[in-house]
């Protein structure tokens, strides 16, 4: 008999019309081996992994032994990929079910890399170890940075090779998410031109994520307003830590407001607003500075999908939809400015704030200054002593900043502690992530585990970790990241 591991499944997705999913089993895995298990996360969500053998766990996280109560399925969705609409779906993922934690939180438990589905198109349904390590490492780092994200519970290797540009070890990631409802799920429903489908998804999403909207006079508008807030918050977090998602297609934007799908994502080293890493992102559609614009573009696709539910009169609906989307830059800008003030230790609202921020970014860009370290250096000491700051262009800016700090009417220490909760000491730098992935592919998991440990407390000053703060040297710089799908 299959063990329960205290999974507490109560899966509601299957209450949606049948078009939204296909029930099916993950592939059998011949030689599953554990790469890493997130015991701390398991404990947090009330899952017991301690009273069993490693062999049992490798069978659990490969899908060979499904826990009691699971009802595996793959979800259907669509999406705009680099601007073009496509019908998609979980091409290599199986949702085991919705687990209810002891605190009553509902979480999707999903395998990624677990075999072909009706939505696989030309894909093999598999995942390679490297990209799954990237997702595990960065999603956990994002969580510890205080940024909404899917989580990673386990990685196993399958013992089978997957063919990409070369043959690579196959792996399965177990991912947790508040849900996997995406902008693309609404586009999928809208594409059927069947109002009942759309309405069913709207009601489901509201009940699951925004129950307060049930009381709104117009539920579609209520949902859109709430999601705009959530997405603005999320992008502001990304901009705060220099995170570049890399594939902000509408199928990779959740309605819960969690970061999802860590394909070619990376953190920026030296500040350049045009930075992008993804090998498939020609033209930098998803560059650092474009992220808020793309979020707005994606939300416009969500609103388009919801037009039939915004108003029965098409013209009225479009009008209302346009008014809503025009609000996004206003909402975003206000949240961004408040985040930037916290990065610079500024209290209150002064007319010179925007210029002060702009001037610093300009200086950073012109001087190849490291994004993370510049803000952290300013948080550690009001007068940073590193060589890069000993130039008159920085001194000029620094004088203006000090004058602005005086208007806080608060001691420097108060500003500094706010700054140290906004400006991380440690981020998963891309050259280190690549080194860890390469080592792991050769069977050496020590760096991976060490780095996971280091990333537990990203805001804590710890001078022993100085080596993790060092930006890549010229020969270590990574210019391109790959999805690896
Ligand atoms: P992603 O870029 O990971 O968000 O994937 C985009 C779409 O392609 C999703 O529908 C995935 O399920 C699908 N996909 C990605 N890789 C594979 C694969 N190896 N086999 C089948 N489907 C895949
Ligand atoms: Mg995706």
DSSP string, 358-381: HHHHHHHHHTT-BHHHHHHHHHH-
Measure 297 CA to ligand 2 centroid, in angstroms.
17
CA-to-CA distance for 83 and 441, rounded, in angstroms? 33
Q: State which ligand 1 atom lies nearest to the alpha carbon of 249.
A: 4
State whether the beta carbon of 87 lies less than 6 angstroms from ligand 1. Answer: no
Q: Distance of CA 34 to CAs 57, 63, 171, 257, 267, Å?
A: 8, 12, 10, 30, 28
In angstroms, rounded to a whole number, what is the distance separating the alpha carbons of residues 376 and 367? 17
Atom number in ligand 1 closest to CA 124: 20
Which SS3 state, helix, strand or coil, does residue 36 take? strand
Long-range CB contacts (within 8 A, 24+) of 209-216: 209/178, 209/179, 209/181, 209/255, 209/256
Ligand nearest to the CA of 112: 1
User: In residues, how long is the chain?
Assistant: 485
Closest-lying ligand 1 atom to the alpha carbon of residue 252: 4
Considering only CA atoms, which residue is closest to atom 11 of ligand 1?
91
What confidence tens digit (pLDDT) does each residue in 174-192 have?
999 999 999 999 999 999 9
Identified catalytic residue from 90, 108, 251, 281: 251
Tokens of 345: 């230790």
Q: Is the CB of 273 under 6 A from ligand 1?
A: no
What's the pLDDT at 192?
97
pLDDT of residue 201: 98
**What is the DSSP pairing of strand 127-128 with strand 151-163?**
unpaired
Q: How far is the CA of 66 from the centre of ligand 1 (A)?
A: 23
User: Tell me, what's the pLDDT at 476?
Assistant: 85
Give the C-alpha separation, 284 to 249, whole Å.
Answer: 13
91 in contact with ligand 1, CB cutoff 6 A: yes
The pLDDT assigned to 447 comes to: 95
Q: Could you confirm whether 281 is annotated as catalytic?
A: no
Ligand 1 pocket test, candidate residues 123, 177, 278, most atoms within 8 A of CB: 123
* Residue 1, pLDDT score: 47
Indicate whether residue 483 lines ligand 1 (CB < 6 A): yes
What's the gap in Å between 309 CA and the centre of ligand 1? 30
User: For the CA atoms of the chain, what is the radius of gyration?
Assistant: 23
Q: Where are the alpha helices (DSSP H) in 115-211?
A: 129-144, 183-191, 195-209
For ligand 1, say whether the CB of 226 is within 6 Å of any of its atoms: no
| The pLDDT of residue 2 | 58
Nearest listed ligand to the Cα of residue 485: 1
Q: Which ligand is nearest to the CA of 113?
A: 1
Q: How is residue 261 written in tokens?
A: 């799908």
What residue owns the CA closest to ligand 1's atom 15? Answer: 485
DSSP 110-140: EEESB---TT-TTS-SBEEHHHHHHHHHHHH
**Which ligand 1 atom is nearest residue 117's CA?**
21
* pLDDT in 10s for each residue of the chain, 485 residues: 457 799 999 999 999 999 999 999 999 999 999 999 999 999 999 999 998 999 999 999 999 999 999 999 999 999 999 999 999 999 999 999 999 999 999 999 999 999 999 999 999 999 999 999 999 999 999 999 999 999 999 999 999 999 999 999 999 999 999 999 999 999 999 999 999 999 999 999 999 999 999 999 999 999 999 999 999 999 999 999 999 999 999 999 999 999 999 999 999 999 999 999 988 888 899 999 999 999 999 999 999 999 999 999 999 999 999 999 999 999 999 999 999 999 999 999 999 999 999 999 999 999 999 999 999 999 999 999 999 999 999 999 999 999 999 999 999 999 999 999 999 999 999 999 999 999 998 899 999 999 999 999 999 999 999 999 999 988 888 778 876 66
Give the ligand with the smallest distance to the CA of 120: 1
Q: Residue 124 and residue 130: Cα distance in Å, rounded?
A: 16
Cα of 133 vs centre of ligand 1, distance in Å, is 17
Distance from Cα 114 to the centre of ligand 1, integer Å? 12
Pocket lining: 484 vs ligand 1, CB cutoff 6 Å: no
For residue 133, count other CB atoms closer than 10 A to its CB.
25
Query: CB under 8 Å to 82, separation ≥6 — which residues?
Result: 249, 280, 281, 285
Q: What is the pLDDT of residue 280?
A: 87
Test site for ligand 1: of 82, 89, 91, most ligand atoms within 8 A of the Cβ: 91
**What is the 238 CA–ligand 2 centroid distance (Å)?**
18
Tell whether pTM > 0.95: yes
- CA distance readout (Å), 282 to 252, 286, 483: 18, 9, 14
**Residue of 88, 75, 108 lying closest to 7 (CA atoms):** 108
Element counts in the chain: helices (H) and strands (E): 15, 12
Residue 260: closest CA among 273, 278, 246: 246
Residue 94: partners with Cβ closer than 8 Å, 6 or more residues away: 24, 25, 26, 63, 72, 73, 74, 110, 111, 114, 115, 117
Task: For ligand 1, atom 16, name the residue with the nearest CA.
Answer: 485
Residue 485 Cα to chain centre, angstroms: 17
What dihedral do alpha carbons 456, 462, 464, 466 form, nearest 10°? 90
DSSP 252: G
Give the separation between CA 437 and CA 114, rounded to whole angstroms: 20
Neighbours of ion ligand 2 (CB under 5 A): 252, 261
Residues with Cβ within 8 Å of 202's Cβ and at least 6 positions away in sequence, in order, are: 219, 220, 223, 306, 309
Cβ–Cβ under 8 Å, residues 278 and 286: yes
Contact present, 405 and 442 (Cβ < 8 Å):
no
Say if residues 100 and 10 touch (Cβ distance below 8 Å).
yes
Distance 132 CA to ligand 1 centre (A): 13
């Amino acid at each position: 008999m299959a063990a329960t591991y205290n999974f507490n499944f109560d899966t509601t997705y299957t209450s949606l019309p049948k078009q939204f999913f296909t029930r099916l089993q993950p592939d059998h895995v011949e030689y599953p081996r554990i790469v890493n298990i997130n015991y701390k996360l398991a404990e947090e969500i009330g899952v017991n992994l301690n009273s069993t053998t490693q062999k049992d766990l490798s069978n659990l996280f490969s899908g060979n032994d499904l826990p009691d109560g699971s009802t595996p399925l793959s979800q259907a969705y669509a999406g705009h990929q680099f601007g073009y609409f496509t019908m998609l779906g979980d091409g290599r993922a199986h949702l085991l079910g919705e687990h209810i934690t002891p605190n009553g939180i509902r979480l999707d438990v999903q395998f990624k890399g677990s075999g072909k589905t009706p939505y696989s198109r030309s894909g093999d349904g598999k995942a390679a170890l490297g990209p799954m390590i990237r997702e595990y490492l960065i999603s956990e780092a994002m969580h510890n940075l205080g940024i909404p994200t899917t989580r990673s519970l386990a990685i196993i290797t399958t013992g089978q090779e997957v063919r990409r540009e070369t043959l690579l070890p196959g792996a399965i990631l177990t991912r947790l998410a508040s849900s996997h409802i995406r902008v693309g799920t609404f586009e999928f429903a809208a594409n059927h031109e069947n109002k009942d489908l759309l309405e069913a998804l709207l009601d489901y999403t509201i009940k699951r994520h925004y129950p307060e909207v049930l009381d709104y006079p117009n539920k579609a508008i209520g949902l859109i307003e709430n999601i705009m807030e959530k997405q603005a918050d999320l992008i502001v977090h990304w901009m705060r830590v220099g995170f570049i998602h890399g594939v902000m297609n509408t199928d990779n934007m959740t309605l819960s407001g969690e970061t999802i799908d860590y394909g070619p994502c990376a953190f920026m080293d030296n500040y350049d607003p045009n930075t992008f890493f993804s090998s498939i992102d020609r033209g930098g559609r998803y560059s650092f500075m474009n992220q808020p614009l793309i979020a707005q573009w994606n939300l416009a696709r969500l609103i388009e999908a919801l037009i039939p539910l915004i108003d029965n009169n098409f013209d009225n609906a479009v009008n209302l939809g346009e008014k809503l989307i025009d609000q996004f830059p206003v909402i975003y800008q206000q949240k961004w400015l408040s985040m930037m003030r916290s990065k610079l230790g500024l209290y209150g609202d002064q007319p010179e704030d925007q210029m002060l921020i702009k001037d610093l970014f300009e200086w950073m860009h012109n001087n190849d200054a490291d994004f993370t370290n510049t803000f952290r250096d300013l948080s550690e000491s009001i007068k940073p002593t590193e060589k890069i700051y000993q130039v008159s262009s920085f001194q000029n800016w620094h004088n203006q900043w000090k004058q602005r700090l005086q208007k806080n009417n608060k001691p420097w220490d108060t500003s500094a502690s706010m700054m140290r909760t906004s400006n991380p000491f440690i981020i998963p730098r891309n050259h280190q992530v690549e080194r860890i992935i390469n080592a792991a592919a050769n069977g050496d998991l020590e760096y991976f585990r060490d780095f996971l440990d280091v990333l537990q407390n990203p805001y804590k000053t710890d001078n022993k970790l100085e080596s993790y703060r060092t930006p890549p040297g010229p020969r270590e710089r990574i210019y391109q990241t790959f999805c690896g799908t």
